[in-house]
Amino acid sequence: METFRMTLKQPAPKRVLVADDDPVMRLLITTILKQQDCEAVVANDGREAYRILQTDSRFSAAILDMTMPFLEGLDLIRYMRSERRLMRIPIMMITAAQDIKLMASSFTAGATAFLPKPFTPEQLQSAIRMLLGNRDSTRRAA
């Protein structure tokens, strides 16, 4: 009798761009991404994120801080939404700003989700989960 052996190929981990100049935030986000079997590609400021995005578009999502040195999160969103190879990547904006106008500006620029600080671990986890499960650019406040 013929036997069939099927090898299931492990799916490649989802890659997520994380751009934040706050090391506390980077640790929290990368910890959750690891738990969700994702690979975090980390940028310490907006310019570093921009440089990464110039040559790499294989991201399942991007998590950006609003206020960063050299290049702000909003500028990065606008860049990503203007580039064909990047425009479908869901983006979550994180900010400590308590201004509703900034949330509106983020969505207008093309953000998929918006998470204001402070947040609880559950809120961060569910926002990231939502972002990774959401590739259709539906806009939501986390």
Partner 1 sequence: MLFDRSTTDDSRDMHSFTISPMNVVRITNDAVDLDVLNAFQQLQPDDGSDLIVELIDLYLQDASQRIGEITEASAKGEWATVNRAAHNLRGSSSNLGVRHTAEICGELERADGRLARAAVAELIERLKAELVRASELLIAERQRRLQ
Residues of this chain that interact with partner 1 (CB under 8 A) are 21-25, 27-28, 31-32, 34-35, 67, 69, 95-97, 117-122, 125
Nearer to partner 1, 25 or 132 (CB): 25
C-alpha to C-alpha distance for 107 and 118, rounded to whole angstroms: 20
The answer to whether residues 50 and 61 touch, using CB atoms and an 8 Å cutoff, is no
- Residue 136 beta carbon to partner 1: minimum distance, rounded to whole angstroms: 28
Alpha-carbon Rg for the chain in angstroms: 16
What minimum distance in Å lies between the beta carbon of 8 and partner 1? 24
Minimum separation from the CB atom of position 94 to partner 1 (A): 8
141 phi/psi in degrees, rounded to 5 = -90, 125
Helices (H), 1-142: 23-35, 46-55, 73-82, 100-109, 121-132
Which one, 27 or 141, has the nearer CB to partner 1? 27
**Residue among 23 and 136 whose Cβ is closer to partner 1:** 23
Considering beta carbons, is residue 11 or 23 the nearer one to partner 1? 23
Question: Minimum distance from CB of 52 to partner 1 (Å)?
Answer: 21
